[in-house]
Structure 1
């Protein structure tokens, strides 16, 4: 079973995460940030992951530490759950429509961290979630999952729709990239290892 549990405690956050890659899209979430819970639920549902995730953070300051540290922990859990990369598809891309938003996501589960996005938002917050933390979450996730992660926002005005399309498209990409392909012998790399 491709699963990992990661715990991380700092002076700013206390986070516990259990991630099952081959799940049923069931999420149990408690971050104290309503919109962020909605996004993590979306990631689990559309990725087919089971996710048990709690974050107690210094929300009296703002949401930055909670969101960024959640990306660190979830990325680490993803990396640890994907114990073997033998036979996986490795690459995936997906274009996600959500009303006015159209978002392209591409991933490479290569063992090297890189994040790029052209996302901009016309509001500072969606609910109690600060939009400037979107990049912080995805960058932290990519760094700790050790993946290349790219987003291209093709169009969109509504910040909620753009962010949700980003999470959904990432979910679809991860689901496809971790699939085992019996035609792939060993790792999909000329180096012989990912």
Structure 2
């Protein structure tokens, strides 16, 4: 079973994240930040990765720790579920439209964390969520999941649409990347015989 479970408790946040890579896109998300909940729900639904995420964070300070730590925990849970990554597709790519917006997301489950971010927001908040935290969320997930991740807003003007197109694109790219490829016969998808490092 390709499942991961991370319990992460600090003085700033108390987090439980569970994932099932072979799920159906079921989710149970409660971070205390409405728009972040909405985006993680989109990730789960469109990746078909089941996600449970329960966060108690120091929102009386701001949303930074809740955003960062929940993303770190999600990445850790994904990495745990992937194990040695034997037999996975490894790569995923998606173009994701939403009305006037088009985003492109490309992922390599390489074990070498790297984020290229080419998207911008023209307002400070979506709901109550600070838009400057969106890039940081993706950086944090890539860091602990071991993803080489390229995110590009090709065009679009509505900030909600831009954000949602990116999350849906990430979901669909991850769906491709984590799926097992029967032709690989359980081999690790690297000529080095391992991923990472």
TM-score using structure 1 length: 0.97
Question: SS at the partner of 1:95?
Answer: strand
Aligned partner of 1:159 in structure 2 is: 159
Query: Distance in 1 between the 2:28 and 2:61 partners?
Result: 25
Query: Distance in 1 between the 2:183 and 2:21 partners?
Result: 21
The answer to whether residue 23 in structure 2 is matched with residue 23 in structure 1 is yes
Q: Shift of the alpha carbon at 1:126?
A: 0.4
TM-score using structure 2 length: 0.96
Aligned partner of 1:173 in structure 2 is: 173
Aligned partner of 1:74 in structure 2 is: 74
Unaligned runs of 5+ in 1: none
Unaligned runs of 5+ in 2: none
Query: Distance in 1 between the 2:102 and 2:29 partners?
Result: 27
Q: Deviations over 1:149-179 (max 9, x none)?
A: 1101100111111111111001001110111
Aligned partner of 1:52 in structure 2 is: 52
Query: Distance in 2 between the 1:188 and 1:51 partners?
Result: 25
Question: SS at the partner of 1:89?
Answer: coil
Q: What is the alpha-carbon root mean square deviation over aligned residues?
A: 0.9
Question: SS at the partner of 1:183?
Answer: helix
Aligned partner of 1:115 in structure 2 is: 115
Q: Shift of the alpha carbon at 1:182?
A: 1.5
Query: Structure 1: which 4+ aligned runs deviate by more than 3 Å?
Result: none
Preserved contact between residue 84 and residue 194 of structure 2 (Cα < 8 Å): no
The answer to whether residue 192 in structure 2 is matched with residue 191 in structure 1 is yes
Question: SS at the partner of 2:5?
Answer: strand
Query: Distance in 2 between the 1:21 and 1:169 partners?
Result: 17
Q: Shift of the alpha carbon at 1:62?
A: 1.3
Q: Shift of the alpha carbon at 1:84?
A: 3.2
Count of aligned positions: 194
